[in-house]
Amino acid sequence: MKKLLTAAVLAAASPLVLSVAAPAAMAEDKADAQLEIPAPPPGKGQVLFYRTGGLSGAALGCAVFDVGAEDKLSSLGAGKYFVLVSDPGPRSFTVKSLETKDALTLEIEEGETQFVRCKIKTGFMSGRADIAPSTEKEFREKHKNPKMVDAEDMSEAVRQTNYPG
């Protein structure tokens, strides 16, 4: 009788176990679907800029500029990214906010993709944009479902790389 009762309990519980396990397996499949980052064009290097998400500074953008340029390359909203294709060599970038300006210089290598994180830190009156070198591992850990910056928030050159056609 105990065997029959155990079999009945297991049979009744198995649809419940399957219904709980199926969404979890589907979520794992989604998490495994990673953004494919294309290689830079021949003779070029590239930088993937991204902004971490979160509530701190959520309403603020992280406007990325070439040092000395008035026109921005792009603005990064929370959880967004964009790719900048560049000639090899040194290149300096800056981010600006109401309270501060931060800069970063990279040595862009042919055939290489570098990663740069923008983070909005707490400031006195508003958030302070901060950029720093990063890694592909950190980018993928911070962005389970990365979203490209909207086309209207990019310069023409950056738009052509990220929205070809």
Query: Is residue 77 classed as helix, strand or coil in its secondary structure?
Result: coil
Q: Is the pLDDT of residue 5 over 70?
A: no
Query: Is 15 inside any structural domain?
Result: yes
Q: Is the pLDDT of residue 10 over 70?
A: no
Query: Is 27 inside any structural domain?
Result: yes
Dist CA 164 CA 130 (whole Å): 29
pLDDT at 128: 73
In this structure, the answer to whether residues 26 and 58 fall within a common structural domain is: no
Q: What is the CATH number for 102?
A: 2.60.40.1120
In this structure, the answer to whether residues 11 and 51 fall within a common structural domain is: no
Which residues 6+ apart lie within 8 Å of 75 measured at CB?
61, 62, 63, 64, 149, 153
The length of the chain in residues reads 165
CA angle in degrees (0–180, nearest 5) for 49-97-102: 60
Tokens 């310069």 label which residue? 155
Tell which wins on pLDDT, 152 or 99: 152
Under a CB-based contact definition with an 8 Å cutoff, are residues 106 and 47 in contact? yes
Which range (10-14, 36-40, 138-142, 156-160) has the least confidence?
10-14
pLDDT category at 97 given cuts 50, 70, 90 is low
Domain extent, residue 98, equals 45-162
Under a CB-based contact definition with an 8 Å cutoff, are residues 48 and 139 in contact? yes
Query: Is 39 inside any structural domain?
Result: no
Residue 71: DSSP 8-state: S
pLDDT category at 44 given cuts 50, 70, 90 is very high
Query: Is 122 inside any structural domain?
Result: yes
In this structure, the answer to whether residues 153 and 109 fall within a common structural domain is: yes
